Chains A and B, each alone.
Chain A
Amino acid sequence: MALISRGFSGRPRSDEPDLPPGQYLTSDFPVLSAGPTPRVPLDTWAFTIVTEAGERHSWDWKAFRQLPAEDLTVDLHCVTRWSKLGTSWRGVSLDTLLEDVETAAEYAHVRSYGGYTTNLPLEDLLDGQAWIAFEYDGEDLAPEHGGPARLLVPHLYLWKSAKWVQGLILTPEDEPGFWETAGYHIYGDPWREQRYAGD
Protein backbone atom coordinates (compact mmCIF):
# COMPACT_ATOMS: atom_id res chain seq x y z
CA MET A 1 0.00 0.00 0.00
CA ALA A 2 2.97 2.29 0.54
CA LEU A 3 3.26 2.77 -3.19
CA ILE A 4 -0.18 4.28 -3.46
CA SER A 5 0.05 7.96 -2.81
CA ARG A 6 -2.36 10.74 -3.55
CA GLY A 7 -1.88 12.29 -6.92
CA PHE A 8 -0.68 9.15 -8.66
CA SER A 9 -4.20 7.84 -9.00
CA GLY A 10 -5.44 7.67 -12.54
CA ARG A 11 -2.24 9.01 -14.09
CA PRO A 12 -0.28 6.97 -16.57
CA ARG A 13 2.74 5.53 -14.79
CA SER A 14 4.49 3.64 -17.52
CA ASP A 15 7.80 4.32 -15.76
CA GLU A 16 6.52 2.83 -12.51
CA PRO A 17 8.59 -0.32 -11.86
CA ASP A 18 5.73 -2.16 -10.14
CA LEU A 19 3.37 -1.62 -13.06
CA PRO A 20 3.27 -3.80 -16.16
CA PRO A 21 3.48 -1.95 -19.50
CA GLY A 22 0.46 0.13 -20.45
CA GLN A 23 -1.07 0.09 -16.97
CA TYR A 24 -1.93 3.01 -14.68
CA LEU A 25 -2.29 3.03 -10.93
CA THR A 26 -5.67 3.35 -9.27
CA SER A 27 -6.56 3.37 -5.60
CA ASP A 28 -10.24 2.49 -5.93
CA PHE A 29 -11.49 -0.95 -6.93
CA PRO A 30 -13.46 -0.70 -10.17
CA VAL A 31 -16.21 -3.31 -10.58
CA LEU A 32 -16.21 -4.92 -14.00
CA SER A 33 -18.78 -7.48 -14.92
CA ALA A 34 -19.92 -9.12 -18.12
CA GLY A 35 -23.38 -9.75 -16.71
CA PRO A 36 -25.70 -9.78 -13.73
CA THR A 37 -24.32 -10.53 -10.28
CA PRO A 38 -25.27 -14.09 -9.28
CA ARG A 39 -26.58 -14.67 -5.76
CA VAL A 40 -25.06 -17.79 -4.31
CA PRO A 41 -26.45 -18.80 -0.91
CA LEU A 42 -23.76 -20.39 1.26
CA ASP A 43 -25.93 -23.44 1.98
CA THR A 44 -25.97 -24.35 -1.70
CA TRP A 45 -22.44 -23.15 -2.57
CA ALA A 46 -19.89 -25.75 -3.55
CA PHE A 47 -16.48 -25.76 -5.19
CA THR A 48 -15.86 -28.77 -7.39
CA ILE A 49 -12.80 -30.00 -9.25
CA VAL A 50 -13.48 -32.52 -12.02
CA THR A 51 -10.51 -34.36 -13.47
CA GLU A 52 -10.05 -35.50 -17.05
CA ALA A 53 -11.04 -38.99 -15.82
CA GLY A 54 -14.32 -37.64 -14.48
CA GLU A 55 -13.26 -37.91 -10.83
CA ARG A 56 -14.95 -35.26 -8.69
CA HIS A 57 -13.57 -33.48 -5.65
CA SER A 58 -16.12 -31.23 -4.01
CA TRP A 59 -16.25 -28.98 -0.96
CA ASP A 60 -19.38 -27.39 0.46
CA TRP A 61 -18.95 -24.06 2.24
CA LYS A 62 -18.38 -25.66 5.63
CA ALA A 63 -15.77 -28.09 4.34
CA PHE A 64 -14.12 -25.34 2.31
CA ARG A 65 -13.83 -23.03 5.30
CA GLN A 66 -12.27 -25.79 7.38
CA LEU A 67 -9.34 -25.97 4.97
CA PRO A 68 -6.23 -24.05 5.98
CA ALA A 69 -6.48 -20.46 4.74
CA GLU A 70 -3.83 -17.81 4.31
CA ASP A 71 -3.63 -14.04 4.22
CA LEU A 72 -2.06 -12.59 1.13
CA THR A 73 -1.19 -9.19 -0.27
CA VAL A 74 -1.09 -9.03 -4.04
CA ASP A 75 -1.12 -6.59 -6.96
CA LEU A 76 -4.03 -6.68 -9.42
CA HIS A 77 -3.74 -5.83 -13.10
CA CYS A 78 -6.90 -5.41 -15.16
CA VAL A 79 -6.73 -5.62 -18.94
CA THR A 80 -8.73 -2.36 -19.07
CA ARG A 81 -5.40 -0.82 -17.92
CA TRP A 82 -5.90 -0.15 -14.23
CA SER A 83 -3.65 -1.71 -11.65
CA LYS A 84 -4.20 -1.76 -7.91
CA LEU A 85 -1.23 -2.58 -5.73
CA GLY A 86 -1.05 -4.19 -2.32
CA THR A 87 -4.58 -5.60 -2.04
CA SER A 88 -5.31 -7.78 1.01
CA TRP A 89 -7.16 -11.07 0.74
CA ARG A 90 -7.78 -14.26 2.66
CA GLY A 91 -8.22 -17.50 0.82
CA VAL A 92 -7.41 -21.16 0.37
CA SER A 93 -4.43 -21.96 -1.82
CA LEU A 94 -5.11 -24.04 -4.92
CA ASP A 95 -2.14 -26.14 -3.78
CA THR A 96 -4.34 -27.24 -0.87
CA LEU A 97 -7.38 -27.91 -3.04
CA LEU A 98 -5.40 -29.82 -5.66
CA GLU A 99 -3.30 -31.74 -3.15
CA ASP A 100 -5.21 -35.02 -3.42
CA VAL A 101 -6.30 -34.63 -7.03
CA GLU A 102 -4.78 -37.18 -9.38
CA THR A 103 -4.42 -35.69 -12.82
CA ALA A 104 -2.22 -35.61 -15.87
CA ALA A 105 -4.19 -32.70 -17.34
CA GLU A 106 -2.23 -29.61 -18.29
CA TYR A 107 -5.05 -27.07 -18.31
CA ALA A 108 -7.89 -25.89 -16.15
CA HIS A 109 -11.21 -24.60 -17.41
CA VAL A 110 -12.68 -22.40 -14.69
CA ARG A 111 -16.45 -22.22 -14.28
CA SER A 112 -18.41 -19.68 -12.28
CA TYR A 113 -21.92 -19.30 -10.97
CA GLY A 114 -23.71 -17.17 -13.56
CA GLY A 115 -22.00 -18.90 -16.47
CA TYR A 116 -18.65 -17.09 -16.71
CA THR A 117 -15.68 -19.20 -17.77
CA THR A 118 -11.97 -18.72 -18.20
CA ASN A 119 -8.97 -20.96 -18.84
CA LEU A 120 -5.35 -21.26 -17.83
CA PRO A 121 -2.54 -23.79 -17.59
CA LEU A 122 -2.82 -25.92 -14.46
CA GLU A 123 0.74 -25.02 -13.48
CA ASP A 124 -0.37 -21.40 -13.10
CA LEU A 125 -2.66 -22.50 -10.29
CA LEU A 126 0.13 -24.26 -8.37
CA ASP A 127 3.14 -23.32 -6.25
CA GLY A 128 1.55 -20.51 -4.30
CA GLN A 129 0.30 -18.61 -7.33
CA ALA A 130 -3.48 -18.93 -6.93
CA TRP A 131 -6.17 -18.95 -4.28
CA ILE A 132 -9.91 -19.26 -3.80
CA ALA A 133 -10.42 -16.00 -1.92
CA PHE A 134 -13.34 -15.39 0.42
CA GLU A 135 -12.27 -12.21 2.23
CA TYR A 136 -11.16 -8.87 0.87
CA ASP A 137 -9.70 -6.20 3.15
CA GLY A 138 -10.76 -8.15 6.24
CA GLU A 139 -14.42 -8.44 5.22
CA ASP A 140 -16.48 -11.18 3.61
CA LEU A 141 -16.03 -10.90 -0.13
CA ALA A 142 -18.87 -8.76 -1.49
CA PRO A 143 -20.95 -10.18 -4.35
CA GLU A 144 -19.86 -7.41 -6.74
CA HIS A 145 -16.25 -8.43 -6.18
CA GLY A 146 -17.04 -12.10 -6.68
CA GLY A 147 -18.33 -13.28 -3.31
CA PRO A 148 -18.89 -15.69 -1.71
CA ALA A 149 -15.59 -16.77 -3.26
CA ARG A 150 -13.51 -15.97 -6.30
CA LEU A 151 -10.42 -17.31 -7.96
CA LEU A 152 -7.38 -15.10 -7.47
CA VAL A 153 -4.49 -15.53 -9.93
CA PRO A 154 -2.74 -12.19 -9.56
CA HIS A 155 0.14 -12.86 -11.95
CA LEU A 156 -2.33 -12.92 -14.88
CA TYR A 157 -4.76 -10.20 -16.02
CA LEU A 158 -7.68 -9.98 -13.64
CA TRP A 159 -10.25 -11.50 -16.03
CA LYS A 160 -8.55 -14.85 -15.22
CA SER A 161 -9.43 -14.38 -11.54
CA ALA A 162 -12.99 -15.59 -12.04
CA LYS A 163 -15.59 -14.12 -9.69
CA TRP A 164 -18.25 -16.42 -8.14
CA VAL A 165 -16.05 -19.39 -8.87
CA GLN A 166 -17.81 -22.73 -8.87
CA GLY A 167 -15.13 -25.13 -9.95
CA LEU A 168 -12.41 -26.34 -12.25
CA ILE A 169 -12.53 -28.84 -15.06
CA LEU A 170 -9.08 -30.27 -15.70
CA THR A 171 -8.49 -30.80 -19.40
CA PRO A 172 -5.70 -32.04 -21.66
CA GLU A 173 -6.35 -29.14 -24.10
CA ASP A 174 -6.55 -25.40 -23.40
CA GLU A 175 -10.21 -24.52 -23.97
CA PRO A 176 -10.87 -20.77 -24.34
CA GLY A 177 -13.25 -19.24 -21.82
CA PHE A 178 -15.60 -16.27 -22.07
CA TRP A 179 -13.20 -13.40 -22.84
CA GLU A 180 -10.66 -15.68 -24.52
CA THR A 181 -13.39 -16.63 -27.01
CA ALA A 182 -14.44 -13.00 -27.42
CA GLY A 183 -11.03 -11.70 -28.50
CA TYR A 184 -8.77 -11.64 -25.46
CA HIS A 185 -5.48 -13.47 -25.10
CA ILE A 186 -5.47 -17.20 -24.35
CA TYR A 187 -2.91 -16.72 -21.52
CA GLY A 188 -2.97 -13.05 -20.48
CA ASP A 189 0.42 -12.20 -18.94
CA PRO A 190 0.33 -8.49 -18.02
CA TRP A 191 4.13 -8.22 -18.01
CA ARG A 192 4.21 -9.35 -21.62
CA GLU A 193 1.12 -7.24 -22.34
CA GLN A 194 -0.82 -10.20 -23.73
CA ARG A 195 -4.14 -8.38 -23.97
CA TYR A 196 -5.79 -9.49 -27.19
CA ALA A 197 -5.92 -12.73 -29.13
CA GLY A 198 -3.59 -11.30 -31.77
CA ASP A 199 -0.95 -10.04 -29.30
Chain B
Amino acid sequence: MTDSFSTSLPAPDGSAPDGTATVPEPAFLDGNAAAGPLRELFTVDLTAAVGTCASCGDAGPLGGVRLFTQAPGLVGRCPGCEDVLFTLVRSERDTYLSMKGFTTLRFPTAG
Protein backbone atom coordinates (compact mmCIF):
# COMPACT_ATOMS: atom_id res chain seq x y z
CA MET B 1 0.00 0.00 0.00
CA THR B 2 2.95 2.33 0.39
CA ASP B 3 2.88 3.23 -3.27
CA SER B 4 -0.76 4.24 -3.37
CA PHE B 5 0.04 7.94 -3.07
CA SER B 6 2.07 7.94 -6.22
CA THR B 7 0.01 5.62 -8.39
CA SER B 8 -3.30 7.43 -8.39
CA LEU B 9 -2.14 10.85 -9.57
CA PRO B 10 -4.17 12.26 -12.46
CA ALA B 11 -2.65 14.39 -15.18
CA PRO B 12 -1.24 17.59 -13.67
CA ASP B 13 -3.55 19.67 -15.86
CA GLY B 14 -6.49 18.22 -13.99
CA SER B 15 -8.02 16.45 -16.96
CA ALA B 16 -9.93 13.32 -16.20
CA PRO B 17 -8.22 9.97 -16.80
CA ASP B 18 -10.53 9.30 -19.75
CA GLY B 19 -9.42 12.53 -21.39
CA THR B 20 -12.77 14.31 -21.11
CA ALA B 21 -12.62 18.07 -20.84
CA THR B 22 -13.09 19.50 -17.39
CA VAL B 23 -13.28 22.94 -15.87
CA PRO B 24 -9.86 24.48 -15.40
CA GLU B 25 -8.12 22.95 -12.42
CA PRO B 26 -5.53 24.57 -10.24
CA ALA B 27 -2.29 22.81 -11.06
CA PHE B 28 -0.73 20.76 -8.33
CA LEU B 29 2.76 19.40 -8.02
CA ASP B 30 3.90 16.17 -6.51
CA GLY B 31 4.95 16.37 -2.91
CA ASN B 32 8.65 16.23 -3.73
CA ALA B 33 8.35 19.95 -4.47
CA ALA B 34 7.97 20.42 -0.72
CA ALA B 35 11.42 18.93 -0.09
CA GLY B 36 13.19 22.30 0.18
CA PRO B 37 10.85 24.00 2.65
CA LEU B 38 10.59 20.83 4.74
CA ARG B 39 14.37 20.35 4.80
CA GLU B 40 14.64 23.69 6.55
CA LEU B 41 12.47 22.31 9.35
CA PHE B 42 13.63 18.72 9.69
CA THR B 43 17.01 17.07 9.50
CA VAL B 44 15.58 13.95 7.88
CA ASP B 45 14.30 13.88 4.31
CA LEU B 46 10.58 13.92 4.91
CA THR B 47 9.64 13.34 1.27
CA ALA B 48 10.57 9.67 1.76
CA ALA B 49 8.63 9.39 5.00
CA VAL B 50 5.49 7.30 4.77
CA GLY B 51 2.40 9.08 5.99
CA THR B 52 -0.96 7.56 6.81
CA CYS B 53 -4.03 9.62 6.00
CA ALA B 54 -6.23 10.22 9.04
CA SER B 55 -9.27 10.46 6.82
CA CYS B 56 -9.12 7.40 4.53
CA GLY B 57 -6.22 5.37 5.91
CA ASP B 58 -4.20 5.36 2.69
CA ALA B 59 -0.47 5.36 3.23
CA GLY B 60 2.28 6.61 0.97
CA PRO B 61 5.47 8.65 0.79
CA LEU B 62 5.16 12.37 1.38
CA GLY B 63 6.72 12.87 -2.03
CA GLY B 64 3.55 11.44 -3.56
CA VAL B 65 0.99 13.82 -2.08
CA ARG B 66 -0.79 16.38 -4.24
CA LEU B 67 0.88 19.66 -3.46
CA PHE B 68 -1.08 22.83 -4.15
CA THR B 69 1.27 25.79 -4.32
CA GLN B 70 -0.84 28.53 -5.96
CA ALA B 71 -2.22 29.39 -2.56
CA PRO B 72 -1.32 31.47 0.51
CA GLY B 73 0.62 28.45 1.77
CA LEU B 74 1.61 24.96 0.68
CA VAL B 75 -1.28 22.50 0.89
CA GLY B 76 -0.58 18.76 0.68
CA ARG B 77 -3.62 16.63 -0.09
CA CYS B 78 -4.18 12.88 -0.02
CA PRO B 79 -4.36 11.47 -3.56
CA GLY B 80 -6.82 8.89 -2.27
CA CYS B 81 -9.49 11.09 -0.70
CA GLU B 82 -8.25 14.67 -1.39
CA ASP B 83 -8.42 15.60 2.27
CA VAL B 84 -5.74 17.95 3.57
CA LEU B 85 -2.73 16.15 5.02
CA PHE B 86 -0.50 19.09 5.82
CA THR B 87 -0.22 22.84 5.40
CA LEU B 88 2.88 24.99 5.55
CA VAL B 89 2.57 28.76 5.93
CA ARG B 90 5.66 30.91 6.14
CA SER B 91 6.01 34.55 7.04
CA GLU B 92 9.27 36.43 7.39
CA ARG B 93 9.04 35.87 11.13
CA ASP B 94 7.34 32.52 11.68
CA THR B 95 6.65 29.17 10.06
CA TYR B 96 3.33 27.43 10.72
CA LEU B 97 3.27 23.71 10.00
CA SER B 98 0.14 21.62 10.42
CA MET B 99 0.35 17.85 10.01
CA LYS B 100 -3.08 17.14 11.39
CA GLY B 101 -4.20 15.13 8.36
CA PHE B 102 -1.72 12.36 9.20
CA THR B 103 -2.30 9.74 11.85
CA THR B 104 1.38 8.78 11.65
CA LEU B 105 4.50 9.66 9.74
CA ARG B 106 7.02 6.83 9.47
CA PHE B 107 10.70 7.33 8.59
CA PRO B 108 13.90 5.43 9.32
CA THR B 109 15.38 5.99 12.76
CA ALA B 110 18.49 8.14 12.49
CA GLY B 111 21.82 6.61 13.30
Interface residues of A (CB under 8 A from B): 30-37, 39, 78-80, 115, 142-144, 159, 178-179, 181-184, 195-198
Contact = CB atoms under 8 A, between A and B. Distances in A.
B73 A179 contact: yes
A175 to B, nearest CB: 15
The secondary structure that dominates the A interface is loop
A198 B93 contact: yes
Contacts of A182: 73, 87, 89, 96, 98
Interface in B67-84: 68, 70-73, 75, 77, 82-84
A143 B23 contact: yes
Given A79-B72, A179-B73, A182-B89, A36 B96 contact: no
A197 B96 contact: yes
Contacts of A181: 98
A31 B26 contact: yes
13 contacts: A31-B26, A34-B73, A34-B75, A34-B84, A36-B82, A37-B26, A78-B72, A115-B83, A196-B89, A196-B91, A196-B93, A196-B96, A197-B96
A147 to B, nearest CB: 9
Given A183-B73, A198-B91, 19 more contacts: A33-B68, A33-B71, A35-B26, A35-B77, A35-B82, A36-B26, A37-B24, A37-B26, A79-B72, A115-B83, A143-B23, A143-B24, A183-B98, A184-B73, A196-B89, A196-B94, A196-B96, A197-B94, A197-B96
Nearest to B73: A182
A33 B23 CA distance: 14
A142 to B, nearest CB: 8
Contacts of A142: 23-24
A195 B90 CA distance: 11
A164 to B, nearest CB: 11
B25 interface: yes
Nearest 5 interchain pairs by C-beta = A183-B96, A183-B89, A33-B26, A182-B87, A143-B23
